[in-house]
């Protein structure tokens, strides 16, 4: 076992966080805000206080449910010239702190949230910079609408997503059932109660060493890390899991830091960084494991083979015009283009696959897409029947209700109403085909917009 | 409408129908015709460039055309490209049920042009860059070729 692979947390008397240790170390390296979520008595506060002791930090521990503003800043008084207000510092005020733990952040009074917001996000209070502050940590019980078991945490409110988005990493503290036998024994042992945590500087040295490397590398973040994060964020947003651009940046920092901790860019730990970067738990939502797995698979592929990354990006993107744009810009050969087209047609629901083929087939037929004849024929098989519709549509009139048109007609007519010119003609053609083929279109206005965006993109390309 | 049928009294031919009294569902139908190919109004214009096909009831076209090109000194259908002018752009290809435009009594240049172009058509695409493929199926089709450029008007 190398020195790097010896875990740090058991040395500090912290058990049950082994799985998350690289993530915790990453948060110490980036100095980005970290939030621990778990049931009471799972060691969240103990972990964070122990980290501050091991790193020799000037630490402040506040309970957000009890905190008052004076506790944070001290008693205000005018300076000698009556020109400005100063604050009488106490051992509890935040001014000299290097690390701050805001416990029970989800029980915070709403009026304090804004103050904590600037503390966490900007390292400022009342607009005054906290120049020594490096670490901003918080802990909370699961949000009240995330109670799936016996204990209920009344008063643990869902966090404001804007506040949650300022945290970089979210770590779920494990409970008794998830601990192994050794961890249970170690936790149960009453030895060491009240002692200052120390590991003879091993953690501090490791963090300082990695922090130096991090500062050097963060300015030219490795391409595979950027590829992983951009693909993951695109895929998650495509799956309707909103991830902000800020979070993408935070995720890249965390992934770089965790790569420095592990020595190499590794798949398993990247998946864990992705999972721990999701803020949704803090407001009681959950990102499904399947969505995370799918996003990770695409991202890992994109990061592993930069020459094939464009394909992964195509599948990470939800909108057709973005897929098309990637195809046009990055497809290296007609064979690979054909393969991408085949996969797009196979992976989309029928209405969407048809819309895509309809929008791009004319350009493919003209040889304006970077795809082979087979790809153009695949598109043609789907699109040709849409280009000319000549069929009967049938429907039932029930009871005394007179239905002049097919039930889907109104939804299509509502979209067509606001359109004109070539755009209207394309939309009318597509929806006519949907009617005769009895295609249920989930989002007619959205799909029409995607057809139009593709047509616009191709028109621009054809004019070049 | 839910029908609950049961025998009434001793008459098995009498059926009590719980749905009685409501107006019945009526089947409606509407014919829809719409095309972006070959239309002459609106902003999108994808004009028909040509109709291809042979009027040849009962003839084995493949055998006939192979004999014909042999008689003219061509070794294979691909060689027709040297002498026959065909459109250089790819077009959308759509089978049609309209009558075939070319009879076997037409001038040979015309017959070869239709045959060559039919050999360059898949069921969706006329692609002059692909190899000429003559089969009984490909030669007996009647197809229209459309220029798709106007689709992006």
Q: Do A429 and B35 touch (CB under 8 A)?
A: yes
Nearest to A3 by CA among A200, A170, A190: A200
Is the model more confident about B148 or about A399?
B148
Q: Do A392 and B31 touch (CB under 8 A)?
A: yes
Phi, psi of A206 (to 5 degrees): -65, -45
Does residue B9 have a pLDDT over 50? no
Tell me how far apart the alpha carbons of residues A389 and B10 are, in angstroms, rounded to a whole number: 55
Span A416-448, pLDDT tens digits: 999 999 999 999 999 999 999 999 898 999 999
- Confidence bin at A452 (pLDDT 50/70/90): very high
- Confidence bin at A231 (pLDDT 50/70/90): very high
Mutation choice for B interface testing from A359, A360, A362, A399 by most B CBs within 10 A = A362
Q: Do A384 and B94 touch (CB under 8 A)?
A: yes
Candidate from A81-90, A134-143, A230-239, A436-445 with smallest mean pLDDT:
A81-90
Does residue B88 have a pLDDT over 50? yes
Q: Do B34 and A428 touch (CB under 8 A)?
A: yes
What residues have CB less than 8 Å from B50, skipping those under 6 apart? B87, B117, B144, B145
| pLDDT of A183 | 80
Region A14-36 average pLDDT: 93
Tell me how far apart the alpha carbons of residues A2 and A6 are, in angstroms, rounded to a whole number: 7
pTM over 0.80: no
- Confidence bin at B73 (pLDDT 50/70/90): very high
Tell me how far apart the alpha carbons of residues A152 and A145 are, in angstroms, rounded to a whole number: 9
Span B113-130, pLDDT tens digits: 999 999 999 989 999 999
Quick one: CA dihedral A147, A151, A154, A160, positive or negative? negative
Within 13 A of A367's CA, how many CA atoms are on the CB side?
A: 9
- Confidence bin at A114 (pLDDT 50/70/90): confident
Q: Do A391 and B27 touch (CB under 8 A)?
A: no
* CB A247, CB A287: distance < 8 Å: no
Does residue A300 have a pLDDT over 70? yes
- Confidence bin at A144 (pLDDT 50/70/90): low
Give the total residue count for chain A.
464
Strands A135-140 and B48-52: unpaired
**A→B interface, C-beta within 8 Å:** 361-363, 365-367, 373, 376-377, 380-381, 383-384, 387-400, 403, 405-406, 421-422, 425-426, 428-429, 432, 435-436, 455, 458-459, 462
CA distance A175 to chain B (A): 55
Percentage of chain A modeled with pLDDT above 70: 94
* Strand spans (E) along A59-209: 59-63, 75-78, 85-88, 99-103, 124-125, 128-129, 135-140, 169-172
Tell me how far apart the alpha carbons of residues A270 and A210 are, in angstroms, rounded to a whole number: 17
Region A47-65 average pLDDT: 90
Q: Measured between alpha carbons, how far is residue A318 from residues A157, A280, A329 in Å?
A: 33, 21, 17
Q: Measured between alpha carbons, how far is residue B14 from residues A348, A424, B24, B106 in Å?
A: 52, 56, 20, 71
Query: Burial code of A287-301, b = ≥16 C-beta within 10 A, e = fewer?
Result: beeebbebbbbbbbb
Q: Do B35 and A396 touch (CB under 8 A)?
A: no
CA distance A449 to chain B (A): 14
Nearest to B52 by CA among B121, B106, B105, B109: B121
Query: Burial code of A112-130, b = ≥16 C-beta within 10 A, e = fewer?
Result: bbebbebbbbebbbeeeeb
**Alpha-helix residue ranges (DSSP H) falling in A263-330:** 267-276, 289-304, 309-316, 320-330
Span A306-322, pLDDT tens digits: 666 788 888 888 899 99
| pLDDT of A196 | 65
Q: Rounded to the nearest 10 degrees, what angle do helices A444-463 and A409-417 cross at?
A: 50
Q: What is the mean pLDDT of chain A?
A: 88
| Torsion, Cα of A106, A112, A116, A119 (10° steps) | -170
* CB A229, CB A299: distance < 8 Å: yes
| pLDDT of A194 | 61
- Please give the residue of chain A at the shortest CA–CA distance from B23: A399
DSSP designation for B37? B
Region A359-374 average pLDDT: 94
| pLDDT of A443 | 92
> Highest mean pLDDT: which of A6-20, A333-347, B8-22?
A333-347
ipTM rounded to 2 decimals: 0.81
């Amino acid at each position: 076992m190398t020195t790097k692979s010896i875990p740090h947390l058991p040395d500090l008397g912290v058990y049950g966080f082994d799985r998350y240790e690289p993530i915790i170390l990453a948060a110490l390296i980036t100095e980005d805000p970290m939030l621990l979520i778990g049931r009471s008595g799972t060691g969240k506060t103990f972990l964070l206080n122990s980290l501050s002791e091991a790193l020799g930090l000037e630490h402040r521990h506040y309970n957000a449910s009890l905190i008052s503003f004076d506790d944070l800043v001290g008693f205000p008084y005018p300076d000698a010239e009556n020109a400005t207000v100063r604050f009488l510092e106490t051992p509890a005020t935040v001014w000299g702190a290097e690390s701050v733990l805001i416990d029970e952040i989800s029980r915070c009074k709403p009026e304090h949230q804004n103050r904590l917001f600037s503390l966490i996000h900007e390292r400022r209070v009342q607009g005054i910079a906290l120049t020594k502050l490096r670490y901003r940590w918080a802990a909370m019980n699961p949000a009240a609408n995330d109670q799936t078991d016996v204990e209920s945490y009344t008063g643990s409110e869902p966090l404001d997503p804007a506040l949650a988005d300022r945290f970089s990493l979210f770590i779920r503290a494990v409970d008794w059932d998830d601990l192994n036998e050794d961890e249970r024994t170690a936790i149960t042992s009453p030895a060491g109660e009240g002692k200052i945590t120390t590991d003879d500087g091993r953690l501090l040295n490791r963090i300082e060493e990695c922090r130096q490397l991090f500062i050097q590398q963060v300015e030219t973040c490795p391409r595979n890390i950027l590829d992983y994060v951009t693909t993951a964020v695109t895929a998650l947003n495509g799956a309707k899991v909103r991830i902000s651009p800020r979070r993408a940046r935070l995720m890249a920092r965390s992934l770089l830091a965790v790569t420095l901790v592990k020595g190499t860019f590794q798949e398993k730990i990247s998946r864990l960084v992705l999972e721990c970067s999701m803020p949704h738990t803090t407001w009681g939502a959950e990102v499904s494991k399947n969505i995370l797995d799918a996003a990770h698979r695409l991202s890992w592929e994109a990061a592993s083979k930069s020459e094939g990354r464009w394909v992964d990006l195509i599948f990470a993107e939800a909108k057709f015009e973005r897929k098309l744009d990637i195809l046009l810009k990055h497809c290296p050969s007609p064979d690979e283009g054909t393969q991408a087209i085949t996969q797009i047609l196979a992976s989309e629901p029928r209405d969407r696959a048809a819309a895509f083929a309809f929008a791009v087939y004319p350009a493919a037929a003209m040889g304006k897409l970077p795809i082979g004849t087979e790809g153009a024929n695949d598109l043609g098989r789907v699109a040709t029947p849409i280009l000319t519709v000549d069929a009967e549509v049938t429907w039932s009139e029930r009871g005394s209700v007179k239905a002049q048109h097919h039930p889907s007609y109104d939804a299509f007519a509502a979209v067509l109403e606001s359109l004109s010119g070539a755009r209207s003609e394309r939309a009318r053609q597509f929806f006519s085909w949907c009617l005769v083929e009895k295609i249920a279109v989930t989002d007619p206005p959205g799909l029409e917009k995607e057809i139009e965006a593709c047509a616009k993109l191709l028109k621009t390309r054809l004019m070049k | 409408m839910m029908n609950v049928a049961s025998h009434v009294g001793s008459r098995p031919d009498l059926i009590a129908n719980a749905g009685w009294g409501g107006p019945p569902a009526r089947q409606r139908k509407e014919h829809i015709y719409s095309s972006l190919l070959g239309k002459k109004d609106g902003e999108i214009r994808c004009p028909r460039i040509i109709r291809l096909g042979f009027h040849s009831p009962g003839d084995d076209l493949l055998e006939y055309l192979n004999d014909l090109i042999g008689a003219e000194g061509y070794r294979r259908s691909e060689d027709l490209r040297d002498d026959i002018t065909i459109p250089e752009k790819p077009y959308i290809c759509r089978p049609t049920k309209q009558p075939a435009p070319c009879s076997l009594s037409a001038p040979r240049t015309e017959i070869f042009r239709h045959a060559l172009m039919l050999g360059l058509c898949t069921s969706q695409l006329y692609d002059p860059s692909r190899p000429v493929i003559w089969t009984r199926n490909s030669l007996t089709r009647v197809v229209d070729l459309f220029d798709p450029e106007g689709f992006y008007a």
